[in-house]
Structure 1
Amino acid sequence: MLKLDLVFFLTYWLKNDLILSYFQPIMTMNASFPTEIVLRVTGASANQLKYWVKIGLVAPHRDGKRYFYTFRDIIKLRVISNLKNKGLSLQKIRKGIDKVTEVLPLDDDPLSRLIIYTDGQDMIVMEKGMYFSATSMQGYFQFDMEQLQANIIKFQSEDAVREKFPSPQMGSASSASK
């Protein structure tokens, strides 16, 4: 059974959490934030952030020696940091971002909008109520495990009762054929 950890609840929740925690006075999506704030919000280390910029996961703008990040950059970095903390490799994260961007071409920044789960091995994305692997594009079924287990137990019990106590119609039909 694939047990999923919820990494990224909802972009709505995350945006509200970030706005209320750090950006209340600004309240604009066009604002730029310095590295110090980005490190506190995302939980990434300075070395991780430098590396992610170097390999192109985010593209902050520079003003002299300082980097500044957009609100979307911060959301993306927080998701990447959470996925890394849950054991997903940076290679799989990058592959997942590339694949999702390829499949959803109108979405230039899927990590800032989509709901993403991980089991530490793969990125599972929810888009319009459907779940799929971001790296393989394989779809996943969604169903209630508790209800499924209850149905299995119910059907097993009904089968056991039928075996012990066959219905009279079945018994008379088999004796009539003898």
Structure 2
Amino acid sequence: MNNKERPEAGDAGKVIHVVFGPGGGRVAAPHPPRAPEPPASNEPVSDLFTASEVAKLLGVAVGKLRTLDRASIVSPSGRRRGRRAYTFSDLIALRAARDLLVRKVRLRDVAKAIENIVAALPRVTRPLAELRIVSDGQAVVVRSSSGSFEPLTGQMVLDFEVKDLRDDVVRVLRPRVGRDRARTAYDLYMQASQLDEDPETMDDAESLYRRALEIDPWLAIATTNLGNICFRRGDEAQAEVLYQKALQIDPQQPEAQYNLGYVMLDRGQALEAISYFRGAIESDPRFADAYYNLAMAYEQIGESTKARPCWRKYLELEPTGTWAEIARKHL
């Protein structure tokens, strides 16, 4: 909801803030949604990597990479500036090989497992979305949308999201790419934030938020705003999950803390609400509605003395309006 949709006294607090706090704000004039993709050169899946880059990324000595190359376990399958280079598919195989070797798997068994993984990769057209290498407790399994593969049997744990590997590439080897991706994700978030309060454009907003998070999973405010969409649709449980996830990414985010406080207050869990509202205020001391709802929470538990400073602070920040009149009645 926006601030113009504040409810009456009996429902006070039913406001979900979308872009409050440091770094927030909205673009006043809405624009038609657009959804630019990062330039192809910014996507590590299509990039090529030198042996020294791979060593830095995976924590494997260059000599070990040469050993795996000579043993035909994992060899560079691309070329960069006239020299052999590793593709992203090679990185998937190398990370699997590294994890198997760490678990003292015999080299010949590693070779067999990697051979089958590499054979599976050509069938995977979208590795970030499709591929995961896991253990079911009995065998290592490569799972994709086209089927499951058991490259090696035995007791071991080998479990990683291929998306995680892509994110490691951006963080360790391509920080500029990381900045570019973050800017693209933020642009998508800003577009979505202009659409998420209108029921007619809410689906478009959700799509834009999800695309932003695919590009930059650490954009906590986009996760919070996805939670707001769930809340507006009546899915309070999923909204709470997303608010909690946003706080895992950014524990100080005032928006997610405020929204969780409101969810708790709405359930009658005033003590839990107080903790979240106080957290929102600590992160953003000018968050007027957090003071209002903190006062409401104190009133619910019979702590009118503690509520009064919150009413006063709210009136200091927002001296006019319907809620200001309600606040004055409590003083």
Question: Shorter-chain TM-score: which interval?
Answer: 0.3 to 0.5
Tell me the TM-score normalised to structure 1 length. 0.44
Structure 1 or 2: more strand by fraction: 1
Structure 1 or 2: more helix by fraction: 2
